[in-house]
Amino acid sequence: MAERLVAHERSPNLHDRTVAAILVAAAGLLSEHGDGASMADIAEAAGVGRATLYRYFPSRDALWEALGAAAMAEISRRLAEAELDVVPVSEGIARVARALVAVGRTYAVLLSSPFRADSTDEDKAGLHEPVRGLLARGIADGTLRDDLTVDELFHVFAGLLFGALRLAVHGETGVEHAAWLVTTVFLSGTGTESALGSSVAAGRAREVAASG
């Protein structure tokens, strides 16, 4: 715990413009080239010198951790703005799917389930708790089946997100369609008929608007 706190205190400010430029460049290059992208390549793409890059991120591991922190910060922001405690549960599911697929595609280098077992307290507050709260509300109001637990629903949803995110990252589908797939498949197995119907209609409307 002490090591985690020390690392957090020394981490770069994600709102710093130079840090933001480095992270954007790193996310793109590492997603495209993997380990083939060197720190020098990242510095060049970000428009900074290698000395500047190493001042902010003294190692590749430090850069990787910062990418993870930036992704989680963006997910938390999007979910906070999604008003998950107010909108109908089926719409909330769709909003979570869109947020996670969009952020996951940007930070494809980190491609792994955002619901990983070693999540920090910050991850749980920003991601797990809002999603679990939404699922619990769905069981309570009859949108989701009551013979499934929140934990079961949570992990099924995470698995679908992981698969759809891979499709989006590899260019096999867009963000809206990937999110629609997650939402409709999830609700078809765990939700009521009315919840699925409203989700399908809303999802199709979004796709038409996005392609128009």
Q: Which of 38, 58, 78 is the last residue of a domain?
A: 58
> Which one-letter amino acid corresponds to residue 100?
L
pLDDT value of position 58: 94
Q: What integer pLDDT is reported at residue 170 of this predicted model?
A: 84
Q: pLDDT digits over 185-205, tens only?
A: 999 999 866 555 555 555 555
- Same domain, residue pair 121 and 200: yes
- According to the model, what pLDDT value does residue 56 have? 93
Residues of the chain falling short of pLDDT 50: 1-10, 112-117, 208
Q: Tell me the C-alpha distance between 46 and 25, whole Å.
A: 5
Q: What is the 3-state secondary structure (H, E, C) of the chain?
A: CHHHHHHHHHCCCCCCHHHHHHHHHHHHHHHHHHHHCCHHHHHHHHCCCHHHHHHHCCCHHHHHHHHHHHHHHHHHHHHHHCCCCCCCHHHHHHHHHHHHHHHHHHCHHHCCCCCCCCCCHHHHHHHHHHHHHHHHHHHHHCCECCCCCHHHHHHHHHHHHHHHHHHHHCCCCCHHHHHHHHHHHHHHHHECHHHHHHHHHHHHHHHHHHHC
Residue 161 lies in a domain: yes
Identify the domain containing residue 36 by its residue range: 2-58
User: Residue 202's pLDDT is what?
Assistant: 53
Write down the mean pLDDT value for the chain.
82
pTM greater than 0.85: no
Residues 74 and 150 in one domain: yes
pLDDT on residue 36: 82
Pick left, alpha or beta for residue 47 (phi over 0 → left; psi -120 to 50 → alpha; otherwise beta): left
Does 63 map to a domain? Answer: no
Q: Are residues 122 and 147 in the same domain?
A: yes
